[in-house]
Amino acid sequence: MRYLLELSYNGAPFHGWQRQPNAISVQQVVEESLSTIMKEKITVVGAGRTDSGVHAKYFCAHFDYSKKIIDKNDFLFKINSFVSKEIFIINIHEVQENFHARFDALSRSYEYVLTTQKDPFAINSAYFLKKHIDFGKMNLAAMALYDHSNFKCFSKSNTDVKTYYCEISNAKWSFINGQWIFKISANRFLRNMVRAIVGTLIEIGENKYEIDHIEKVIMSKNRELAGYSVPAHGLYLTNIIYPDLKL
């Protein structure tokens, strides 16, 4: 039987979601915890990757299990008692055998959290930038993202992806509870893409470049022309949408 896990995690102590040969990952911890309490080897397939240090307020993964889970509440209690304190299993659902957490996803959403005021309680959860930034200008620049689909310029170098095409449906900065939050949604994302987009927008907001600079960067398909990659600790995966999945 196939099951869908909904979970969240603080990415600070992990080297991303995906298993690594010589470093601890969220996937490894979840798989080992499930295998222990379910008494059989469990392999988990995630909805995608998050880089080292990146957080997930909402993440999905599927796995196969030979038995039917009768008491869902009992399962959730056991797994959350066993799994690392930085990981929370929100819910579990039985799904169709052909469901795939990664390939069936229609869209994913991220938030990048930035603060321009020093906050000792946000040093590990938001990027502190002690500079004057024009967020209105950054939002005007972000509108160019809707007009393009090839985002090779924002992709991590030497990646193994076969296509750089993504369809962005939302990209906007908002001021919420004393922090600036960049919300972005797309059908798929490239490795390091959101952090490179944010770095490029920040350089425009600092008046290093004009608004049309982002257009030139995208058309160039050259990562070296894009902005710097902002720190991972400010990035959160916040939503994943699937078709006709009634949970």
Percent of the chain topping pLDDT 90: 91
3-state SS class at 227: coil
Considering the domain architecture, whether residues 144 and 224 belong to the same structural domain is answered as: yes
Within 17-154, where are the H helices?
26-38, 72-82, 135-142
Domain closes at, from 103, 126, 141 = 103
What gap in Å lies between CA 16 and CA 13, rounded to an integer? 9
Considering the domain architecture, whether residues 70 and 188 belong to the same structural domain is answered as: no
Considering the domain architecture, whether residues 147 and 213 belong to the same structural domain is answered as: yes
Does residue 246 lie in a domain region? no
| Stretch 199-219: mean pLDDT | 96
Does residue 245 lie in a domain region? no
Does residue 17 lie in a domain region? yes
Does residue 180 lie in a domain region? yes
Considering the domain architecture, whether residues 87 and 146 belong to the same structural domain is answered as: no
Under 8 Å between Cβ of 15 and 108: no
Judge whether 64 counts as a catalytic residue: no
The tens digit of pLDDT for each residue in 56-108 reads: 999 999 999 999 999 999 999 999 999 999 999 999 999 999 999 999 999 99
Of these ranges, 104-108, 118-122, 156-160, 162-166, the one predicted with the greatest mean pLDDT is 104-108
Considering the domain architecture, whether residues 156 and 93 belong to the same structural domain is answered as: no
Under 8 Å between Cβ of 46 and 101: yes
Considering the domain architecture, whether residues 130 and 221 belong to the same structural domain is answered as: yes
| Tokens of residue 179, six digits | 């922090």
Considering the domain architecture, whether residues 111 and 230 belong to the same structural domain is answered as: yes
Under 8 Å between Cβ of 166 and 190: yes
pLDDT at 41: 96
3-state SS class at 58: strand
Strands in 96-244 per DSSP E? 107-115, 127-128, 168-176, 179-186, 235-241
pLDDT at 219: 95
Considering the domain architecture, whether residues 181 and 152 belong to the same structural domain is answered as: yes
3-state SS class at 36: helix
Does residue 118 lie in a domain region? yes
Query: Average pLDDT of the chain?
Result: 94
Does residue 163 lie in a domain region? yes
Is it the case that residue 246 has pLDDT exceeding 70?
no
Considering the domain architecture, whether residues 117 and 74 belong to the same structural domain is answered as: no
Residue 140 belongs to a domain with what CATH number?
A: 3.30.70.660
Closest to 87 in 3D by CA, of 63, 50, 56, 110: 56
Does residue 229 lie in a domain region? yes
Predicted confidence band of residue 48 (pLDDT cuts 50, 70, 90) = very high
| Tokens of residue 123, six digits | 């040093």
| Tokens of residue 180, six digits | 């600036």
| pTM, full prediction | 0.94
pLDDT at 161: 76
Q: Which residue has the tokens 């603080």?
A: 10
Helix (H) or strand (E) holding 196: helix 193-205
Domain closes at, from 103, 124, 157 = 103
pLDDT at 154: 94
Q: Which residue has the tokens 């490179």?
A: 196
- Based on the structure, what is the number of domains in the chain? 2
Burial call 192-204: b when 16+ CB within 10 Å, e when fewer: bbbbbbbbbbbbb
Print the domain residue range for 25: 2-103
| Tokens of residue 175, six digits | 């001021």
Considering the domain architecture, whether residues 130 and 113 belong to the same structural domain is answered as: yes
Closest to 235 in 3D by CA, of 198, 205, 208: 198
| Tokens of residue 40, six digits | 């059989």
> Largest Cα–Cα distance in the chain?
59
Does residue 247 lie in a domain region? no
Percent of the chain topping pLDDT 70: 98
Considering the domain architecture, whether residues 95 and 126 belong to the same structural domain is answered as: no
Q: Which of 51, 71, 160, 212 is catalytic?
A: 51
Domain closes at, from 69, 88, 103 = 103
The tens digit of pLDDT for each residue in 161-201 reads: 789 999 999 999 999 999 999 999 999 999 999 999 999 99
Considering the domain architecture, whether residues 88 and 118 belong to the same structural domain is answered as: no
45 vs 161: which has the higher pLDDT: 45
Is it the case that residue 202 has pLDDT exceeding 90?
yes
Residue 79 belongs to a domain with what CATH number?
A: 3.30.70.580
pLDDT at 131: 85
- What angle do helix axes 72-82 and 26-38 make, rounded to 10 degrees? 130
